[in-house]
Structures are given as C-alpha cells and as structure tokens.
Amino acid sequence: VTIRTILDGKGALYQQIYRSIREDILSGRLKRGERLPSVRELASDFGASRMVIQDSLECLAADGFVYSSPGRGVFVSDNLDGAGPHGGSRPASARVESPLDQSALSEFAMRALSASPADAFYKRLSARAPIFDFAYWMPATTDSFRAKWVQAAAAAAKLIGASYPDPHGEPLLRQEIAKYVCRARDVFCEPEDVVVCSGAQQAFDLISRCFKGEGGAVAFEEPGYFNARRSFEANGFAIAPIGVDDKGLQTFLLDEMAPRNARLLYATPSHQMPVGGILPLERRRELLDWAERRSAYIIEDDYDGEFRFAAKYVPSLKSMDEKGRVFYVGTFSKTILPSLRLAYVVPPKQLLGAFVNAKMIIDHGASSFVQTAAALFLESGAFAQHLAAVKRIYAERRDLLIESLSARIPEARLIDSGAGLHVHLYLGEAFRGKIGPLLSALSQKSILLSDPRDYYMDPANCDSLILGYAQIHPELIDEGVAHIAAQLQMMKAAA
Ligand SMILES: Cc1ncc(COP(=O)(O)O)c(C=O)c1O
C-alpha cells in the first residue's frame, strides 16, 4: 500500500500525520479493512519517530478510523459511520446540512423556532459590563454573602448522595422553604406541599403542560412578563391580554375580556411586572372569585414579593386561596442569584401529584448539590441575614433613584409602589415607537436598561422605561439619570 505523506505544518507532527492518514482513509485511497504499512515503514515514510507514529495511530483508533489486531497489524475500520471527531466526514464548518424538513417537527418546535432568538437575549444579558447598570434582574451580593455561600456549597459537596434527587425536591430544602414562605409570605403549607423547580421559568412550563394548551387560552397581564408569556405560547396557549393599571391587573375586566377557554391566569399581584402595581384586596377577591366561577387556576408569580420599602405588607394571594385555585410560584433568583436556577411552587393540593410527576418526567429533579447548598444556606440563618443586608442596600439605592428621577425628569410619570427592585417611568405618548432608538443611544453611553418593549404584546404601545436599582452603584445613580434626562431632552427637541 502506498500512502501519501502530506504534512500541512499545522499543530504537532503526530496531528499532521493523523490528518494525512485520515484523508487517505476518507478519500478511499486506503480501503476499508485494508492493512496499514507497519509502524517502522510509516516512520520512515513520514520521517518521524516510531513513537510519533504510535501517537497518530492511537488517535486514529480512538476516533474509529482504524483498529489494531494484535500480532497482525493496524487495519482501516470496516465501518466508518460516525468515525472521527467530525462525524467521520469533513469538519463541521465545511459541511452543508440538508434543508430542515419541518413536516417532522412538533407544533412546539415550530413555535420555538419562531420565538425570538434565545442567543440574542443571552448575549444582551451578558454584554460587556455597563457603567450605569439599571438592569432589574441582577440582585446585589456582598462579601459576607459570598463567604457564607461558599461555606454552604462546600458542606453540600460533602453531604450529597450519589443517587438521583427526589423529583419533589430535597426534603431539607422543602422544609426550609415551607418555613420561609409561611413566615414571609403567609403561604401556610407543609414541606410535602412544596415542589422545587429549576427556576420559575420551569414552573411556568410544568404548569402549562398540566393544562390544555391547544384550543386553550391563558389570561395574561398586559404588559406582562415576557418569559412567562413565551412559555405559554410555546405550549400552544392563546394569550388573552388583560390590561393593568397602577394597581395591577384590572380584575374587573376579566368577565368581559377573558375567553371561556381561559382556564389559566398568570399574574404578579405583589408587584406587577413591569408597571409595579400592588394588587389591592378587593381585586384579589375579585380574581379568586373569577377563578372559582370559571373553574380556572391562577399562577401567582411572587418573584420579588419579599422586597418592600415604602409599601405596607401585603400577604400572598395564595394565603387567601380557600378553594385551591392558586399555584404559588416563588424564586431564589432575586433573593439569592438567578444563576442557581432554583424556585419553588406550592400547587393546589389536587394538582400536586400531577405537578411532581411532570417534574420527574421532564428532568428527574433539580440538582441535589444546588438544592442542598441552598437548604444549608437557609437553615444556617445566612439567608435571613443576607436578605436583611441587601434590603438595606436596595432601600438606599431606591431612595437615590427616585429622588434623582423626580428632580431630573419631572415631566415623566413615575410609578413607584414602594416594593420590588425596579420602578416604572411613563415617558408619554411622544415616545411611542422611539424606545428602540432611545435604548440604543443610552447603550452608547454605557447605560444598560432592560428592554421594556419585550413586555408588550404589541411593542409599539410601549412608551416607558424600567429602571432597576439592585445592581447600580449608589454614586452612579444620579449621573446615569442625568444622561437619560439629557437624551430625552435631545430626542424631544429633535421631534
Ligand atoms: C416577573 C418575573 N418572574 C420570575 C422571574 C424569575 O424567574 P426565574 O426563577 O426563572 O429566574 C423574573 C426575573 O426577573 C421576573 O421578572
């Protein structure tokens, strides 16, 4: 057999020899089942040591191109399907895949394909560190938090078992969550009523899967939290938008606006996302009544209910739920970190079994390691201390932001309900259709804001900004607001 000895000069010699022989195999110059020249002959052909040839042959064998038969030599594999780091053919970059045959895809995949690209969203989140960070989704951390979290994580690493987690959630974490939601949110429940999820986002998905998506609808706050909306849409639900005002969901519109097939409703009663209203008691009653009359279920997304500053305490909607109509969803994304992907759900009792089984089917349970670390963090008291510390930080930043906005942009209407980690600023109708250029101009000045248009079914209706205060350094708040005010003035003057 004569083989070619083409060294391309890229990388180590054994890699070049590997590529040269691989090319001969792929091009058919070396036939399937054919014996390669001996190591000695190859060493002489390539002008390399036997050791180098051995390394090349080992790589070819590991990638499935050749196999060695003791005492007989090295042979080209009979079956090259799937051989090689590139699937036995050319590198991925050089491959041209066949066009996608969409007829094989599920309705879910088709809807996921048409959703806005997840990559772009992630890139925006992880964009280069802005100087003025008004993002609302990133909580503050302290040195003491880091130290305590590392302690909890180290202890968890020693404690966790080798087997699969309980799909319901680690018992210790469920116990701690049950105590916490009873105390802090009046959600009176036992550890067995709590299910641990990988983020509130997974809770929305699991709840969706327990209801009829195709032909069904979900009554949804408008504007509302787009990541929840996307989950319902992907699961086949039609979205029935119900308006919100400064007090939250306009529950008096439900009878008229929510279609008969809406058996689910999503709401953020503790702090409406994004406008900020806190749902008053009468509306809470109206909402629960509506659900009971329609045999519908409410998803109460209590994503930042623990943060109250000027607002008086309002217990969760779940605490008023006598009839088992509410899925209570809480998350550690604001109280610890969103990167943990850890949330909890207290479903209506009758749906608990279906919900836990859905969790099992989808991912076999959340990571034991992360759950155990969180459980120890709560159990040790570090969580309560952390919450107290960050609340002080947020209270200061909030006051500075509100003061600065009132002084520098007095013409805008500020919605501040005294709760949560962001405020909402109505700029007025003159800014409809101009939010995109405004955000781009601000990002040039290294000012980061979440894109408020995402929260609207029709983004053209958006004429507001969402300003978070959890991340931004207090000394930068007024300067950041001054830049925003100047940009608004400039755009008004140009109009
Ligand atoms: C309204 C709302 N719900 C829930 C979440 C958190 O979701 P997750 O637990 O999936 O991080 C956020 C995050 O910012 C939110 O704005």
The answer on pLDDT for 122 being more than 80 is: no
CA of 386 to the centre of ligand 1 (A): 19
Element spanning 46, H or E: helix 39-46
CB burial class (10 A; 0-12, 13-18, 19+) of residue 445?
Answer: middle
Query: What is residue 348's predicted lDDT score, i.e. its pLDDT?
Result: 97
Cα–Cα distance, 378 to 177 (Å, whole number): 8
Residue range 19-68, pLDDT digits in tens: 999 999 988 889 999 999 999 999 999 999 998 999 999 999 888 899 99
CA of 201 to the centre of ligand 1 (A): 7
CA of 185 to the centre of ligand 1 (A): 17
Cα–Cα distance, 39 to 55 (Å, whole number): 11
Taking the CA of residue 273 as reference, the ligand 1 atom at the shortest distance is 1
Cα–Cα distance, 116 to 139 (Å, whole number): 25
Query: What is residue 6's predicted lDDT score, i.e. its pLDDT?
Result: 86
Which of the listed residues 303, 334, 422, 466 should we mutate to test ligand 1's pocket, taking the one with most ligand atoms within 8 A of CB? 303
- Cα angle 175, 178, 181 (rounded to 5 degrees) comes to 150
Q: Encoding tokens for residue 75?
A: 């042979």
- Which of 325, 218, 225, 227 is closest to 271 using CA atoms? 225
CA of 418 to the centre of ligand 1 (A): 19
Q: How confident is the model at residue 87 (pLDDT cuts 50, 70, 90)?
A: very low
Q: Encoding tokens for residue 182?
A: 């009873």
Cα–Cα distance, 443 to 43 (Å, whole number): 59
Which carries the bigger pLDDT value, residue 301 or residue 136? 301
The answer on pLDDT for 126 being more than 70 is: no
Cα–Cα distance, 394 to 273 (Å, whole number): 18
Residue range 185-210, pLDDT digits in tens: 999 999 999 999 999 999 999 999 99
Residue 281 CB contacts under 8 Å (≥ 6 apart), including other chains: none
Query: What is residue 138's predicted lDDT score, i.e. its pLDDT?
Result: 87
CA of 203 to the centre of ligand 1 (A): 11
Nearest CA to ligand 1 atom 3: 303
Query: What is residue 128's predicted lDDT score, i.e. its pLDDT?
Result: 59
Backbone angles phi, psi at 326, to 5 degrees: -115, 130
Looking at the DSSP bridge assignments, the partners of residue 114 are: none
The answer on pLDDT for 84 being more than 80 is: no
CA of 37 to the centre of ligand 1 (A): 62
Pocket of ligand 1 (CB under 6 A): 137, 199-201, 225, 268, 273, 301, 303, 331, 333, 338, 343
Nearest CA to ligand 1 atom 5: 303
Residue with tokens 């909607």: 317
CA of 36 to the centre of ligand 1 (A): 59
CA of 337 to the centre of ligand 1 (A): 11
- Which of 192, 205, 329 is closest to 273 using CA atoms? 329
- Tell me 38's DSSP state: P
- Which of 263, 268, 199, 207 is closest to 235 using CA atoms? 207
Which carries the bigger pLDDT value, residue 32 or residue 125? 32
b/e string for 374-408 if b means 16 or more Cβ within 10 A?
bbbbbeeebbeebbeebeebbeebbebbbebbeeb
Question: 327 near 299, Cβ under 8 Å?
Answer: yes
- Which of 346, 356, 337, 333 is closest to 227 using CA atoms? 333
Residue range 430-464, pLDDT digits in tens: 999 999 999 989 988 889 898 999 999 999 999 99
Nearest CA to ligand 1 atom 7: 200
Q: What is the DSSP string of 98-156?
A: PPP-GGGS-HHHHHHHHSPPHHHHHHHHTSSPPSEE--SS-----HHHHHHHHHHHHHH
Which of the listed residues 273, 337, 450 should we mutate to test ligand 1's pocket, taking the one with most ligand atoms within 8 A of CB? 273
The answer on pLDDT for 94 being more than 70 is: no
190 CB neighbour count, 10 Å cutoff: 11
pTM for this structure?
0.83
Question: 35 near 41, Cβ under 8 Å?
Answer: no
The answer on pLDDT for 86 being more than 60 is: no
Residue range 268-282, pLDDT digits in tens: 999 999 999 999 999
Which of the listed residues 196, 333, 335, 342 should we mutate to test ligand 1's pocket, taking the one with most ligand atoms within 8 A of CB? 333
Query: What is residue 11's predicted lDDT score, i.e. its pLDDT?
Result: 82
Which carries the bigger pLDDT value, residue 288 or residue 213? 288
The answer on pLDDT for 225 being more than 90 is: yes
CA of 477 to the centre of ligand 1 (A): 24
Give the ranges where 295-434 is alpha helix by DSSP (H): 349-363, 368-379, 382-408
446 CB neighbour count, 10 Å cutoff: 14
Query: What is residue 4's predicted lDDT score, i.e. its pLDDT?
Result: 85
Q: Is 423 helix (H, G, I), strand (E, B) or coil?
A: strand
Q: How confident is the model at residue 5 (pLDDT cuts 50, 70, 90)?
A: confident
Q: Amino acid identity of 388?
A: A
**Side-chain half-sphere CA neighbours of 299 within 13 A:** 31
The answer on pLDDT for 119 being more than 80 is: no
Question: 175 near 371, Cβ under 8 Å?
Answer: no
**What percent of the chain is modeled with pLDDT above 90?**
75
Q: What share of the chain is helix, strand, coil (3-state, %, to 5)?
A: 45, 15, 40
Taking the CA of residue 136 as reference, the ligand 1 atom at the shortest distance is 14
Cα–Cα distance, 88 to 127 (Å, whole number): 36
Residue range 330-371, pLDDT digits in tens: 999 999 999 999 999 999 999 999 999 999 999 999 999 999
